[in-house]
Amino acid sequence: MSPRRRENPPLDREHLRDDPFQQFDKWMGEARAIVPLAEAMTLATVDADGAPNARMVLLKGHGPDGFRFFSNYASAKGEELLASPRAAVVIYWRELDRQVRIRGEVERLPADQSDAYFASRPRDSRLAAAISPQSRPVERDELDRRYRELAEELGDASVPRPAHWGGYLLRPDVIEFWQGRESRMHDRFVYSRQPEGWRVQRLAP
């Protein structure tokens, strides 16, 4: 038997903040209270030929400037963002029957911000990031060997952030908030960036 859809109250314009980042803060706070790994999101990019690609990543910070995530710059997503520095994100919270869709330009974070986040990661994760040729063909034995060798080489010393790894900032042009309703009469509101601020419109489900 499929789980019963969450019965959300109507979502009207007066229920929304004028600023989409404040609205996102509200929904993210509610999601973190009940959704495991509420920061998980699908990141979609395109390559130099316009072919789409998507994968799951973790949202690692957000604010008025945009939404942050981290990766290997030489990975498939890194090369695609270099060729076409725009992306789309979808965050879906099944337990709340809500999703947020975000589109905009992407830029690399300053090195000091990438350094700070890298230093906050568990040591094993830092070692793995340093030795992994992400998205490239590799044998498991080769990965394990690289990991052991770097761990032995560094000993108790800290793991420096490799030059090929760092953060990205997605600066949104469009943010949509979607909330499920019965009979597919879902509530959808889109914030579009305008010279004078954000325009908010209801979309048909």
Active site residues: 184
Token digits for 99? 């999703």
Query: Position 84: which residue type?
Result: S
For residues 13-35, b (16+ Cβ closer than 10 Å) or e, as one string? eeebeeebbebbeebbeebeeeb
Q: What is the crossing angle of helices 140-154 and 123-131, to 10°?
A: 120
Q: Tell me the three-class secondary structure of 164-205, residue by residue.
A: CEEEEEEEEEEEEEEECCHHHCCEEEEEEEECCEEEEEEECC
